[in-house]
């Protein structure tokens, strides 16, 4: 266990310069950050310090071999100014699963949780209360050890930075089902939140945007016959009254929002089917009218509805509905996250 975490407070807060009514996602950063170094074979004492730049040697291995993993979380304030997290231990566990796959030393749970608590305590005034807003939390680990030789680094940095943010997405998106490029492959690192996974998505997404779409639906690496993820999010498809999502694998991230939607939907009596879903099945459902909804699920947006999709040169629009699973499930989850509803699942974590 770690002892008390050293806190070095900023001499000049930036909080009065921030327009909390007009927050873009992840573009304004709070006063402080948590920093913890791995050296001499062990993690050193974490400390909270003013948000600032990082100096690295040009030979730092993060620049050359990409050892970098991250998480995404949020902190919320309720009407009484209580601060809440949502399933934070799952984020800690997944960070270590990702780290292990990239040969990064795993972080002790108390370093993660106690460090996060210390950071949020000093920056609690940065947590917005406006509906749809939250304090986005970005824990990440990267290789700071030096050398051009292709091997794991001997030193790493773990940081947590935070950003008060408004809603991640507004409105519905139109997506293109990918037929050529792959997000990940069997035996690879698709299940990890590795920075390189996202770098590899940018180019195919750029091509889709040039065709008039906002995002890509990723398909399997071998045949491109099965739907797997939506951009940087897990994907759900509603055919008639059944909600379908693919099983986790080497290629699909074990999303915390995904797990929550599955559990919540089942508790609400919605039929959930976790199975491989063929692209042809989705196209046929769109043609015969049984395709009711598609939506992405992830920490930043919670749920992002999909208005239509393109595949093999044809576009398919989804029906306009008032009573969508997407809206219902998003409200149920966000009400739990912000302490507006009971939490029968034990997901909410009070600081």
Coil/strand/helix, residue 15: helix
Helices (H), 193-315: 195-210, 256-267, 279-288
pLDDT digits (tens, 9 = 90+) for 128-149: 988 889 999 999 999 999 999 9
Which domain-ending residue is among 133, 165, 197?
A: 165
Given a contact cutoff of 8 angstroms between Cβ atoms, the answer to whether 317 and 308 are in contact is yes
Q: What is the pLDDT of residue 21?
A: 87
**DSSP structural state of residue 146:** B
Best CA proximity match to 176, nearest among 309, 32, 336: 309
Residues 102 and 186 in one domain: no
pLDDT digits (tens, 9 = 90+) for 229-283: 999 999 999 999 999 999 999 999 999 999 999 999 999 999 999 999 999 999 9
- Residues of the chain below pLDDT 50: none
Residues 99 and 211 in one domain: no
- What's the angle, vertex CA 159, arms to CA 158 and CA 164, rounded to 5? 155
Coil/strand/helix, residue 227: strand
**Six-digit token pair at 305?**
């509805």
Measured distance CA(45)–CA(56) in Å, rounded: 20
Q: What is the pLDDT of residue 171?
A: 66
Burial (CB < 10 A; 0-12, 13-18, 19+), residue 165, is buried
Q: What is the pLDDT of residue 38?
A: 98
Which domain-ending residue is among 165, 187, 210?
A: 165
Q: What is the pLDDT of residue 329?
A: 97
Which domain-ending residue is among 142, 165, 188?
A: 165
Q: What is the pLDDT of residue 135?
A: 97
Residue 305, Cβ neighbours under 10 Å: how many? Answer: 20
Q: What is the pLDDT of residue 80?
A: 93
Identify whether 56 is part of a domain: yes
Residues 41 and 86 in one domain: yes
Q: What is the pLDDT of residue 166?
A: 84
**Domain extent for 57:** 6-165
Measured distance CA(312)–CA(230) in Å, rounded: 17
Q: What is the pLDDT of residue 24?
A: 85
| Angle formed by the axes of helices 325-337 and 256-267, nearest 10° | 110
Residues 68 and 128 in one domain: yes
């Amino acid at each position: 266990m770690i002892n008390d975490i050293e806190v070095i407070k900023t001499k000049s807060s930036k909080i009065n310069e921030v327009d909390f009514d007009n927050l873009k996602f992840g573009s304004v950063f709070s006063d402080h950050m948590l920093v913890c170094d791995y050296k001499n074979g062990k993690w050193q004492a974490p400390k909270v310090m003013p948000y600032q730049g990082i100096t690295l040697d040009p030979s730092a291995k993060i620049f050359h071999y990409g050892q970098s993993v991250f998480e995404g979380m949020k902190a919320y304030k309720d009407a009484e100014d209580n601060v809440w997290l949502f399933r934070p231990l799952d984020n800690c566990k997944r960070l270590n699963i990702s780290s292990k796959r990239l040969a990064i030393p795993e972080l002790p749970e108390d370093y993660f949780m106690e460090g996060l608590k210390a950071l949020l305590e000093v920056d609690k005034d940065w947590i917005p209360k406006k509906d749809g807003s939250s304090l986005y939390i970005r824990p990440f680990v990267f290789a700071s050890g030096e050398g051009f030789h292709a091997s794991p680094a001997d030193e790493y940095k773990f940081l947590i930075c935070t950003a008060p943010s408004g809603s991640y997405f507004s409105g519905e998106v139109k997506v293109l089902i990918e037929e050529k490029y792959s997000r990940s492959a069997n035996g690879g690192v698709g299940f990890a939140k590795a920075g390189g996974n996202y770098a590899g998505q940018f180019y195919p997404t750029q091509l889709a945007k040039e065709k008039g779409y906002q995002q890509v639906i990723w398909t399997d690496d071998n045949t491109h016959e099965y739907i797997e993820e939506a951009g940087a999010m897990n994907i759900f498809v509603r055919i008639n009254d059944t909600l379908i999502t693919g099983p986790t694998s080497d290629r699909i991230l074990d999303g915390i929002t995904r797990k929550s939607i599955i559990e919540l939907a089942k508790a609400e009596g919605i039929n959930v089917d976790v199975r491989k879903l063929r692209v042809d099945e989705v196209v046929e459902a769109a043609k015969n009218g049984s395709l009711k909804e598609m939506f992405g699920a992830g920490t930043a947006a919670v749920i992002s509805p999909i208005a239509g999709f393109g595949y093999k040169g044809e576009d398919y629009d989804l029906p306009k509905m008032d009573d969508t699973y997407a809206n219902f499930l998003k409200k149920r989850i966000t009400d739990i996250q912000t302490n507006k509803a009971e939490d029968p699942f034990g997901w909410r974590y009070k600081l």
